[in-house]
Amino acid sequence: MNIVVNGTSNIVNEEISLKQFIEKHCPNPERVIAEVNEHIVKRADWDRQLLKENDKLELITFVGGG
Amino acid sequence: MNIVVNGTSNIVNEEISLKQFIEKHCPNPERVIAEVNEHIVKRADWDRQLLKENDKLELITFVGGG
Amino acid sequence: MNIVVNGTSNIVNEEISLKQFIEKHCPNPERVIAEVNEHIVKRADWDRQLLKENDKLELITFVGGG
Amino acid sequence: MNIVVNGTSNIVNEEISLKQFIEKHCPNPERVIAEVNEHIVKRADWDRQLLKENDKLELITFVGGG
Amino acid sequence: MDNKKSENLIIAGKNFSSRFLLGTGKFGNKNDLALAIKASNAEIVTVALRRIDLQRHEENILEYIPPDVTLLVNTSGARNATEAVRIARIAREAGYGTWIKVEVINDSKYLMPDNEETIKAVDILTREGFVTLPYIYPDLYAARKLVAVGAPSVMPLGSLIGTNKGLKTKEFIRILIEEIEVPVIVDAGLGAPSHAAEAMEMGADAVLVNTAVATAGNPVLMAKAFAQAVEAGRNAFLSALPVQQDSTQARASSPLTGFLYQ
Amino acid sequence: MDNKKSENLIIAGKNFSSRFLLGTGKFGNKNDLALAIKASNAEIVTVALRRIDLQRHEENILEYIPPDVTLLVNTSGARNATEAVRIARIAREAGYGTWIKVEVINDSKYLMPDNEETIKAVDILTREGFVTLPYIYPDLYAARKLVAVGAPSVMPLGSLIGTNKGLKTKEFIRILIEEIEVPVIVDAGLGAPSHAAEAMEMGADAVLVNTAVATAGNPVLMAKAFAQAVEAGRNAFLSALPVQQDSTQARASSPLTGFLYQ
Amino acid sequence: MDNKKSENLIIAGKNFSSRFLLGTGKFGNKNDLALAIKASNAEIVTVALRRIDLQRHEENILEYIPPDVTLLVNTSGARNATEAVRIARIAREAGYGTWIKVEVINDSKYLMPDNEETIKAVDILTREGFVTLPYIYPDLYAARKLVAVGAPSVMPLGSLIGTNKGLKTKEFIRILIEEIEVPVIVDAGLGAPSHAAEAMEMGADAVLVNTAVATAGNPVLMAKAFAQAVEAGRNAFLSALPVQQDSTQARASSPLTGFLYQ
Amino acid sequence: MDNKKSENLIIAGKNFSSRFLLGTGKFGNKNDLALAIKASNAEIVTVALRRIDLQRHEENILEYIPPDVTLLVNTSGARNATEAVRIARIAREAGYGTWIKVEVINDSKYLMPDNEETIKAVDILTREGFVTLPYIYPDLYAARKLVAVGAPSVMPLGSLIGTNKGLKTKEFIRILIEEIEVPVIVDAGLGAPSHAAEAMEMGADAVLVNTAVATAGNPVLMAKAFAQAVEAGRNAFLSALPVQQDSTQARASSPLTGFLYQ
């Protein structure tokens, strides 16, 4: 299953929820803001959001800025 | 007959063409550009343009500008 | 007896000490610094310094300055 | 015989006039201004000015300047 | 305008006793950021959003910002109104408030803000309940339109971002101060406390600084220096500065005549 | 020079924690002067001498200056070294110390200090035990000579007295700061706190202000504003200001790429 | 861009050997205007339109402008795009060409141009066959849009109309020069030949001056002075100016060592 | 002073129609120097003296200077009056006239002229029949003394030698122009024709440029550009420039009311 994460293709073999994906790949899950296909998915809903072929994920966080 | 010339009301008693009006009132008719009711009237047409009650005349000329 | 005080001639009729002169003419004697003929006269010496014909007095004080 | 030319020591073996020295060492003798021991020697006098032990020569020229 | 002289900076009904806003970019050491906020008493700080780098552990910028500080989320990265709106919504969804610095830039060389797109974004975001502080090139007409669509403040640039050149737009920011009723916050390009003081002296309501603090040798002390300069400039504005004398002639502050002279 | 970074301003062995000096001329209300000294924490203030006006009751300026403040007697009115020396001696005789601002002006239009006469006066006064702070036009050679004859500080002008034009001599004061080992105190012409901050940012050791404070709408608040600006500028100097970018190109303080882009 | 270095100023395919444009307002004596055009070799001059005063005999400005000069009719008085378009049409109808300086101002205090309305007017007028030279506040995005809708040149202001303050917008006009391919003509606020030279040195294609010439003591000589300064600045641009040295250190132009020294 | 408005520059009784002086240092190609003199119509050019390099064939600078040009020999390299006098005497002995630019520098970092030593040198040289043009830091008192000892002109610096920073000393050169009766020639630091125009506009009698011409991409065209700017500035001075408007308010050059309005 191909998933585009922050503009880069990723191959995911098993069925996986957004929550599982983030916890597996992000060093600080508690900082992450997630969009799937340009819609924000609230943290409370990460668990039941299953990733699908060609989903476009944006994983975003706060950084220093002016 | 009331005619508004450059924003000011003027009473005109006789029937009069645009050409006659301009020649009577403007010191330098050859410098004048005339609009009647927001439409430009070419110099060649001044003669046959008769002024009517409530006509709005703009008599304009070139001046120094930056 | 003529005395020049701060550049202006003054006629003084009686014999008078510097101390008396200052106390008579200056609103705030305690603020005054006195020169007689370009020599500073200390406050302690005002009493015994008698004014003489053509003495040049400078009576000076502190003021605001930048 | 030691001669200091423009601040540097030079050994000169034979007796030599200022004119000869300049013509031997300077690419453009016609541009040279010469001082010997802080006195200017005019071009007309170069011929008869013989260099002596410990003479201090300044050989100067015009250059671009602001 | 009378509210130009109010004690506090008031934006969208919220009172701030500090008129110094701090940006959080470019800090080499995040502890310096925390200390700089404290040293300057900044009550509003900006942050930005960015894609996570999956390969690298990054520090959480928010941990270094005290909870009582108002977060202002910068839409930097947006090239048009649509993208700015999207970033603002993400920020809100993430639970970080509704205060947005609307920054729309479609020029990668000079980083000039696009006023027209910014107006569009402010219009949309205001309707959605955001408090928007638009970052703009100081143009009177653009500022008027921003106020008309609901911006509770405008943030004109002093000079190009990151150049430290100071108040190159002074003549035009002055017009905004005189003509626009909402607070004018000078943002971008202020490279020294004297620049911040100069902005405040002419009546700017606040300033925002980032680069000059974050890249200073001692960012914490520099943050304090800027905050002091902002207060100095504010007090000078309230005191009514004397005017510059245009003649080339001098005017004595000490008494020059009548002593030692005839 | 290392002492350029010392915490206190040190002149002739005396320590001052404030780097703001206040002139006392032109105050409309003498109570404002007292309050301005307090509000600014000035530790050195200048006064001048003048012939008494026998016709008029005048207030005693000294009553408005706290006793712990160092009085600096200005020789204003002196047109040459001899007159400056005479004024200094009068001041000392009157019991008001030995700290003298040596100001020699022989030009009634621009009030430019005469450096050469000033050097002569400092030379004489130093030998007589005075502490002299010479007011000068910022000329490297004159400053060197003043130090050579014993001046423990130099006070170059920022712009013409009373003009409020700021640091018109910046390029040349900078040279003094780099080359002269004694404290450099910028005097005259500073018309706004931003000017004072700018002087301090480049490493001036202190500033003296009179006209801009005394003639402000609110002199007390303005005195405070200047003092704050001096601290701001000092802190910025100690923090090492980042440099201005000379290219016309901007430099982002926020991350601009990698988000919302492909 | 290479055409930045072309010998002639080329606008809408028409070649001009002079890069100095003259405005005709405010001349006390119309003969001075005629002589000023001649003395400066101006090839483009602006005029405006106004309602006739029926009570007063006024001179015909056009009689003082040589027939080979390109007339540029200013839409001054227009507060929005519609009014600017109307004025342009009147000018064309009157037989005076199709070259229009599009000036839209809706602010009677600062006389700032309204870029957005200007863009709309240029869009309409270009479709109607006019050659439009828009007078703008120097904003990169506005300039890009003007070029996109067909403006063959842009005329950014140097400072507020009639103030003679010079190139206060320098940083932003520079961006236009670098980024915009059509000629950039600096208009408004240039108060001295040195200002005009400065604009040309950084690569402006031409300048337009009115107030500083018309209100000079000797307008004819001043027109010549501006034209000379424009040529000077142009030649300097073509020669590639050396850069300013940023250090405070000097660099000798004369040989300083090796002579009279040991 | 009336002679400030004379058509020619007059120094020591000699008339010059050009008010542009050219320095000859730093030219990469000596042919460029010859062409630059011609292109600029310079009538006075400076040269310097240096020890011959015995190892290297050097070109003769004098061959590139037309015979009708007045040579001004710079005493550069002199650290005090004695050395300056010695250089002047050498120049005269060599047959190159009696016109000397007296330059005394005892500071190898900033290359600031030592006014006091310069005055001494001018005093001696004037008695020996030289025509001296002293290069000075613009100090009113020093200029007065130079005139008193016979200098027929003074040459104050605009900014540090070779920095191209322009008229950093403007406020103080203006004082010389107003107070000193001999011609004031601005020398050093002028980096662009606009700087030269600015000096002339305020009434300087002439300018001397070297670095900015010699190091330009095209020195010949740049020399011409400076000469044009000098004429432009001179004409502007003679025309009486209008003043800058200090208010922030604009003043229309076109008629703005009465048309299309009610």
Residues 17-46 of F with CB under 8 A from G: none
Q: How far apart are CA H144 and CA H142, in angstroms?
A: 5
What was the pLDDT predicted at G262? Answer: 37
**Cα angle A13-A17-A20, degrees, rounded to a multiple of 5:** 85
Across the interface, whether the CB atoms of F50 and C61 are under 8 A apart is answered: yes
User: What would the mean pLDDT of F47-73 be, rounded to a whole number?
Assistant: 88
User: Residue A64 is nearest to which of E24, E90, E161, comparing CB atoms?
Assistant: E24
Residue tagged active-site, from E30, E101, E145, E168: E101
Tell the residue number behind the tokens 């000023």, with chain if given.
G36
Q: F142: part of which helix (H) or strand (E)? A: helix F140-148
Residues of A in contact with F261 (CB under 8 A): 7
Identify which of F73, F88, F82 has the alpha carbon closest to the alpha carbon of residue F117: F82
Output helix, strand, coil percentages for chain G, rounded to the nearest 5: 35, 20, 45
Q: H128: part of which helix (H) or strand (E)? A: none
Average pLDDT over chain C, rounded to an integer: 90
Q: Is F4 a catalytic residue?
A: no
User: What would the mean pLDDT of D23-35 be, rounded to a whole number?
Assistant: 86
Residues of C in contact with F89 (CB under 8 A): 40
Identify which of H74, H114, H105 has the alpha carbon closest to the alpha carbon of residue H208: H74
Residues of G in contact with E114 (CB under 8 A): 141
Separation in Å, CA H211 to CA F69, H49, H241: 51, 18, 29
Interchain contact H160–G (C-beta under 8 A): yes
pLDDT per residue of chain G (262 residues) written in tens, 0 to 9: 446 788 899 999 999 999 999 999 999 999 999 999 999 999 999 999 998 887 777 778 888 999 999 999 999 999 999 999 999 999 998 888 799 999 999 988 899 999 999 999 999 999 999 999 999 999 999 999 999 999 999 999 999 888 889 999 999 999 999 999 999 999 989 999 999 999 999 999 999 999 999 999 999 999 999 999 999 999 999 998 666 665 566 777 776 544 554 3
Identify which of G157, G210, G206 has the alpha carbon closest to the alpha carbon of residue G182: G206
**CB-based contacts of F139, cutoff 8 Å, min separation 6:** F115, F172, H112, H115, H137, H139
Q: Is F96 helix (H, G, I), strand (E, B) or coil?
A: coil
- Minimum Cα–Cα distance from E257: chain F residue: F77
Interchain contact A4–E (C-beta under 8 A): no
Q: Residue H208 has which token pair?
A: 């001397």
For an interface test with H, the pick among E169, E248, E249 (most H C-beta atoms closer than 10 Å) comes out as E248
What was the pLDDT predicted at F93? Answer: 84
Please tell me the distance in Å from D18's CA to the nearest CA on chain H. 15
Separation in Å, CA C44 to CA C10, C19, C30, C47, F256: 24, 9, 12, 7, 79
Tell the residue number behind the tokens 């930048």, with chain if given.
C66
- Per-residue pLDDT of G121-147, as tens digits, reads 999 999 999 999 999 999 999 999 999
Tell the residue number behind the tokens 């260099």, with chain if given.
D51
Across the interface, whether the CB atoms of D63 and H57 are under 8 A apart is answered: no
Q: Is H70 helix (H, G, I), strand (E, B) or coil?
A: strand
What was the pLDDT predicted at E201? Answer: 97
Interchain contact C50–F (C-beta under 8 A): no
- Paired strand residues for D33: D60
User: What secondary structure letter does DSSP report for A50?
Assistant: B
Residues of F in contact with H140 (CB under 8 A): 107, 110, 112
Interchain contact E135–A (C-beta under 8 A): no
User: Residue G225 is nearest to which of H239, H252, H260, comparing CB atoms?
Assistant: H239
User: Residue D64 is nearest to which of H47, H86, H94, comparing CB atoms?
Assistant: H47
Across the interface, whether the CB atoms of H254 and B7 are under 8 A apart is answered: no
Q: Is D64 helix (H, G, I), strand (E, B) or coil?
A: strand
Interchain contact E175–H (C-beta under 8 A): yes
- Which sign, positive or negative, has the C-alpha torsion E132, E136, E140, E145? negative
User: What secondary structure letter does DSSP report for E225?
Assistant: H
- Per-residue pLDDT of E98-154, as tens digits, reads 999 999 999 888 999 999 999 999 999 999 999 999 999 999 999 999 999 999 999
Q: Is H44 helix (H, G, I), strand (E, B) or coil?
A: strand
What was the pLDDT predicted at H257? Answer: 46
Identify which of H218, H214, H115 has the alpha carbon closest to the alpha carbon of residue H157: H115
For an interface test with B, the pick among G21, G31, G52 (most B C-beta atoms closer than 10 Å) comes out as G52
- Of residues D30 and F58, the one with the higher pLDDT is D30
- Minimum Cα–Cα distance from G187: chain B residue: B66
Q: How far apart are CA F114 and CA F75, in angstroms?
A: 13
Q: How far apart are CA H249 and CA G161, in angstroms?
A: 9
- Of residues E109 and E195, the one with the higher pLDDT is E195
Lowest mean pLDDT among E87-101, E152-166, G110-124, H106-120: E87-101
Assess contact for G64 and G30: CB atoms under 8 A.
Answer: yes
Q: How far apart are CA E82 and CA E124, in angstroms?
A: 9
What was the pLDDT predicted at E248? Answer: 59
Residues of C in contact with F25 (CB under 8 A): 63-66
